[in-house]
Amino acid sequence: MITHGRLNRPPVPVQPANRFTAAEEASAKLDEAAQRAYRELKSLRAMHLQWGYIRHRYSDSERRSARKAFTFWKTKFLQVSRPDKPQEPKLPWPWRDNAKWLFELSNARSMQKAWEALDIESRQKQWPYIMLSTLDRCPDKAHMVLEATLDPLPPGYAINDVLLFVAQRLRISSIKNLRERTLKAEEILELVAKVLEDTPAGHVPLGQRTAGLLARRLPSEQASELYKMLQRANIKLHPNSLLQFAGKLASDMAHKDTAFEILKGLADNGIDLNAPSPSSAITTLLHCRIAHGGWSDSSSSFSPKDTLEYFLDRGFVPNVINATAFLDSLCQRAEVEEAIRLALLFSESGVQLDTKAWSTIFRGAKGSLKVENVAKSLDVAKAANAPYVDVLNNALHAIFYFAEMESREKRFSAPWIYPLFGPMLRAYAKKFELEPLQWWLPDSLPLMLTQTTGNDGEKFDSTRVRQWDFLGSIVPLTEKTFESQSSGPKLQPNTTTIAIMLRAYIKTLQHPYDLMAFYAFFKARLEEQGGKEGFAAQLIKDQGSLVHDTIIMAMMERRGLARAALQIFGDMLKDHLQRSATGDAERSDERSDEGQSRATGPIHPAPGLCTFSILVRGLFNSGDRILAEQVLHVMKEQGVEPNLVTWNTLTKGYASMQNIKKTVSTLQDMEAAGFKPDLFTFKAFGKLKNQARALELMEGIIDVNRQKIVGEDLYG
Instruction: Indicate whether 418 pLDDT > 50.
Output: yes
Q: What is the predicted pLDDT for the residue at 209?
A: 93
Instruction: Indicate whether 297 pLDDT > 80.
Output: no
Instruction: Indicate whether 567 pLDDT > 60.
Output: yes
Confidence bin at 594 (pLDDT 50/70/90): very low
pLDDT greater at residue 273 or residue 692: 273
Q: What is the predicted pLDDT for the residue at 596?
A: 42
Residues 621-637: tens digit of each pLDDT:
888 999 999 999 999 99
Closest CA to 281 of 237, 324, 243, 238: 243
Instruction: Indicate whether 383 pLDDT > 80.
Output: yes
Q: What is the predicted pLDDT for the residue at 20?
A: 46
Residues 111-127: tens digit of each pLDDT:
999 999 999 999 999 99
Q: What is the predicted pLDDT for the residue at 669?
A: 87
Ranking 13-17, 126-130, 178-182, 627-631 by mean pLDDT, the lowest is 13-17
Ranking 46-55, 160-169, 378-387, 447-456 by mean pLDDT, the lowest is 447-456
Q: What is the predicted pLDDT for the residue at 88?
A: 76
Contact 320, 353 (CB under 8 A): yes
Report domain extents, the chain: 388-591+598-642, 643-716
Q: For the residues 529-548, what does the mean pLDDT come to?
A: 88
Instruction: Indicate whether 50 pLDDT > 90.
Output: no
Q: What is the predicted pLDDT for the residue at 12?
A: 59
Confidence bin at 289 (pLDDT 50/70/90): confident
Give CA–CA dist 504/507, Å, rounded: 5
pLDDT greater at residue 176 or residue 521: 521
Q: For the residues 161-189, what does the mean pLDDT come to?
A: 89
Greatest mean pLDDT among 524-538, 562-576, 584-598, 673-687 = 562-576
pLDDT greater at residue 711 or residue 642: 642
Instruction: Indicate whether 575 pLDDT > 90.
Output: no
Confidence bin at 427 (pLDDT 50/70/90): very high
Q: What is the predicted pLDDT for the residue at 674?
A: 78
Q: What is the predicted pLDDT for the residue at 314?
A: 92
Residues 242-252: tens digit of each pLDDT:
999 999 999 99
Confidence bin at 701 (pLDDT 50/70/90): low
Residues 469-528: tens digit of each pLDDT:
999 999 999 999 998 766 678 999 999 999 999 999 999 998 999 999 999 999 999 998
Give CA–CA dist 343/346, Å, rounded: 5
SS3 491: strand
Give CA–CA dist 592/127, Å, rounded: 61
Alpha-carbon dihedral 625, 629, 631, 632, rounded to 10 degrees: 140
Q: What is the predicted pLDDT for the residue at 294?
A: 47
Residue count of the chain, please give it. 716
Share of the chain above pLDDT 70, in %: 86
Q: What is the predicted pLDDT for the residue at 529?
A: 78
pLDDT greater at residue 7 or residue 14: 7
Residues 313-366: tens digit of each pLDDT:
999 999 999 999 999 999 998 999 999 999 999 999 899 999 999 999 999 999
pLDDT, the chain, mean: 86
Give CA–CA dist 48/490, Å, rounded: 74
Confidence bin at 158 (pLDDT 50/70/90): very high
Confidence bin at 455 (pLDDT 50/70/90): low
Q: Which residues of 280-319 are buried (b: 16+ CB within 10 A; e: fewer)?
A: bbbbbbbbbeeebeeeeeeeeebbbbebbeebbebbbbbe
Contact 406, 468 (CB under 8 A): yes
Q: What is the predicted pLDDT for the residue at 462?
A: 61
SS3 353: coil
Q: Could you please report the per-residue DSSP string of 422-438?
A: HHHHHHHHHHB-SHHHH
Give CA–CA dist 26/656, Å, rounded: 64
Q: For the residues 228-238, what does the mean pLDDT come to?
A: 94
Q: What is the predicted pLDDT for the residue at 296?
A: 46
Strand partners, 432: 491
Instruction: Indicate whether 682 pLDDT > 80.
Output: yes
Sign of CA dihedral 209, 211, 214, 220: negative
Q: What is the predicted pLDDT for the residue at 401?
A: 96
Ranking 79-93, 289-303, 309-323 by mean pLDDT, the lowest is 289-303
- Please enumerate, as own/partner, the contacts of 475-478 that have beta carbons within 8 Å and a separation of 24 or more: 475/399, 475/423, 475/427, 477/371, 477/374, 477/375, 477/395, 477/398, 478/395, 478/396, 478/398, 478/399, 478/423, 478/424, 478/427
Q: What is the predicted pLDDT for the residue at 205?
A: 86
Please, what is the angle between helix 220-232 and helix 256-268, to 10°?
Answer: 50
Confidence bin at 695 (pLDDT 50/70/90): confident
Q: What is the predicted pLDDT for the residue at 592?
A: 47
